[in-house]
Homo-oligomer: A and B are copies of this chain.
Amino acid sequence: MTPEEARELLRRFRAGEVDEAAVLSAFETPKVADLGFANVDLQRGMRTGFPEVIFGAGKTAEQVAAIAQEILKREGRLLVTRITAAHFAAVQAVESSAVHHESARCITIRKGEFPKRAGTIAVVCAGTSDLPVAEEAAVTTEIMGNDVTRISDVGVAGLHRLLGRLDEIRRANVVIVVAGMEGALPSVVAGLVERPVIAVPTSVGYGASFGGLAALLAMLNSCGSGVSVVNIDNGFGAGFVASQINRLANQE
């Protein structure tokens, strides 16, 4: 339960639409669900605006499915990142409506209706090879209730491709920019827009890209103001930050 959901529940209680028991039950959530191998944080939604997101890498399919099941007892939305096909199969067995985003390596579950926020988040990526990371960012922001504009393959080697899409980018509330190799795109974009730019370096490249280090350093040293950076290949992190910002823009 997020703060927005809590506020809606209380509004409906005051309006007589739900009874006291429902309210008490919703607020009786324990802080933690101890599964032995994991301490599921049941208050994260209330504290940070979205239920605990499951990081699939390094967990077995069974572990992921068990955590997912635990969270779904109380929440209507779920995001699992860095998954394999095996993870998806196990989660689908638990909840058949689970959606597999293959390129983004994510699972999303959405039970019931959730309102869309006003404003869009632009996910801009430099090259075709950066698409999986960009998709992870896009899927993250969407499950959290935001509209996304995807703008792909507009790297700085052919600047007219970026300039041709500038109007769309400028309409967004937040701009996520995903790039590997020399990581120049966020600097260029930040000089052209008045909104926060979240830069995501990717490990796309070879040789002296050192697994994304070159792009990471470039983004941290951006001469364009308004750029902040997340970890290499961390599309999820960028999407989460962007969603937090758009949530604020929506006065939630």
CB distance from A207 to the nearest CB of B (A): 3
Measured between alpha carbons, how far is A87 from B37 in the docked complex, in Å?
A: 26
Copy number of this protein in the oligomer? 8
Smallest CB-CB A-B distances: 5 pairs:
A207-B232, A184-B184, A58-B129, A228-B228, A214-B217
A244 interfacial by beta-carbon distance below 8 Å: yes
Measured between alpha carbons, how far is A41 from B127 in the docked complex, in Å?
A: 12
Is A191 a contact partner of B225 (Cβ separation < 8 A)?
Answer: no
**Residues from chain B with Cβ under 8 Å of A248 in the complex:** 173-174, 195-196, 245, 248-249
**Residues from chain B with Cβ under 8 Å of A43 in the complex:** 158, 160
Q: Interface with B: A70-78, A90-98, A109-117, A197-205, which one?
A: A197-205
Is B39 a contact partner of A156 (Cβ separation < 8 A)?
Answer: no
**Residues from chain B with Cβ under 8 Å of A126 in the complex:** 223
With CB as the reference atom, state the residue of chain B lying closest to A205: B221
Chain A, range 199-230, C-beta contacts under 8 Å to B: 201, 203-230
**Residues from chain B with Cβ under 8 Å of A1 in the complex:** none
Measured between alpha carbons, how far is A210 from B182 in the docked complex, in Å?
A: 16
Is B38 a contact partner of A157 (Cβ separation < 8 A)?
Answer: no
**Residues from chain B with Cβ under 8 Å of A85 in the complex:** none
Measured between alpha carbons, how far is A251 from B118 in the docked complex, in Å?
A: 12
